[in-house]
Amino acid sequence: MCGIFFSLSTNAAEPNPETKALLIQRGPDSCQTHTVSRQIRTHDGVSAPVTLYLTFLSTVLSLRGDHVFKQPLVDSASQSVLCWNGEAWKIDQERVSGNDTELVFDRLLRAGSGTAQQASENLAEVISSISGPFAFVFYDARHGRVFFSRDCLGRRSLLQGVDNDGSLKICSLCDGSSSTRFQEVGFDGVYMIDLDDYQVSVPGSTEPCRIHTLPWTNTSPTSTGHLRNPIPPMNATVPEEQPPALEIETPFVQDLQLRLLDSLALRIEDIPEPPNYIHGQSAKVAVLFSGGLDCTLLARLAHDVIPLDEPIDLLNVAFENPRVAAAAVAAAVKTKHGAAAVASTEPVSAYEACPDRMTGRSAHAELQMTCPGRPWRFIAIDVPYTETIAHRASVKRLMRPHNTEMDLSIACALYFASRGQGTITHPTSVPISYSTTARVLLSGLGADELFAGYGRHGVAFTRGGFPDLISEIQLDVGRLGQRNLGRDDRVLSHWGRETRFPFLDEDFVAWVLQAPVWQKCGFGLSAPRSETNAERLRGIDNEKMALRLVALRLGLSTVAREKKRAIQFGARTAKMEKGRTKGTDALD
């Protein structure tokens, strides 16, 4: 995980101190700045040439290779520069071992040979060959061009904006307090600025230069300079007759388990030891853990990859919500006929009463039962209301330009969960303070979108059958980068940890999207053919049914039957002060 800042201006603009500090939070292992200048001709042919300054700043969280690879990377021969925030898990379908940044830089430099047009076409080939999440800024000094992009799913944050002086800025975070001048870089292609076309802008202008796009395409392009999109269109086939019921040992369910395990292994094998690591005591991997189906499935599969003596930390967050507490007291008073009766009852922890805390403890117990040799560490992260208020401005700063009540509710939960500070309880001891050493976090994000896990998917099927269900899934997958991933990356990375998404591996996503929709969820299927299968599937919801069957295969019977619950309601970050706010309401 890295932090990126780039500016293109006539006065060598650097990030403001607050932004630089936040970038260092993302990448505490290294921080360097590099500035180059380039003279450009004015378009009137009369005025004197103008000097442009290209400022690059990168911070690094080192998670690949045997030492810290400092950025920005600068080629001494050409003076080309790369700021890379990503994980190239594979290049040309070959697994990358060791550090990926230098390998990507070398390929980009070799792509720059030939004419400017050839260089752009070659760069498109290089980017198309990379499998993994990324955001980058690359300066091709030979041809005077700047390229920047997010991957085709938008799994890493990258924002662009223009400041009051007309300087173009590209950054992992909003630079400054204003969210109005920054927007998320799209994930529909690689963007290119030709410095020879740069127009010296008037201060306050929002368009200092033309930005060209090298788009992703799912078809064989008729012209060069396109990127091959690894994510195919969704299989929109509608069954001609009612599909049969899903069963635990169907080939699709078996294959699903193996493919998810492959995706996970790619992300948790060969993780370097974090600072202050003690073998057998410290964790390299932690799971953002609500106790729901998706995260528990990842934890269970991680058990099959990580050496048995290494702990796996389960980060479970719960919030003190004054509105919920007040409503509970009011209900108790009404039921018990008086405040005295309420005072005499046994107090219940606001945190232990959170839905995600209850499912988390239940899932933790099931993991201990199914994988008894593993040190499973349940980290209870309790967040008092006063602490939520104290950090709220920081959370809002990180999630910009997102600015709704729902954004804040989700971001708060992710912010405190990824901090990784809570308590652990041994069977014979009182809770003790604990901070996870893990720098790699696992998230189940993407499972609901791919496998029809939201309530609205059932509504869509009821409304219009398989065609409407397919359309709803297509909508969800297509907007992941816009709605979730950039915001989540900015918030989760704040504590110097990298979140990895096994459900969003390109090969895995492509395979799931190509499968018929009725193999992924239980809507519209026939009844089980045998009484034995019917009994095994009792209580299994239609949403994400294929994943639920994988959980059953792995012995997670209770987890397989857990209901979908949004994080803001499970952790109780939603509607802390007022009960009538809507998730889409803009923040003050």
Length of the chain: 588
Phi, psi (deg, nearest 5) at residue 458: -65, -40
Angle formed by the axes of helices 251-268 and 545-553, to 10°?
80
Spatial neighbors of 344 by CB under 8 A, at least 6 apart, are: none
Bridging pattern class, strands 168-171 and 159-162: antiparallel
User: How many whole angstroms separate alpha carbon 420 and alpha carbon 332?
Assistant: 34
DSSP assignment string, 319-374: E--HHHHHHHHHHHHHHHTSHHHHHHSPP--TTTTSHHHHHHHHHHHHHHHHSTTS
| Neighbour-count burial for 10-46, b at 16+ CB within 10 Å, e otherwise | beebbbeeebbebbbbbbbbbbeebebebebeeeeee
Q: Based on the residue annotation, tell me whether 2 is a catalytic residue of this protein.
A: yes
Q: Please state, in angstroms and as integers, the Cα–Cα distance from residue 205 to each residue in 63, 164, 166, 168, 202, following that order.
A: 39, 8, 6, 10, 6
Could you tell me the end-to-end alpha-carbon distance of the chain, in angstroms, rounded to an integer?
31
- What 3-state DSSP class applies to 65? coil
Strands (E), 371-488: 376-383, 421-424, 432-435, 440-442
Angle formed by the axes of helices 293-302 and 545-553, to 10°?
40
Select which of 2, 31, 152, 171 is catalytic.
Answer: 2
Query: Tokens at residue 13, please?
Result: 């603009």
Vertex 120: Cα angle to 223 and 7 (nearest 5): 135
DSSP assignment string, 204-253: T-S-SS--EEEEEESS--SSSS-EE-SSPPP-----SSPPPPP-TT-HHH
Query: Tokens at residue 245, please?
Result: 């019921």
| Active site members | 2
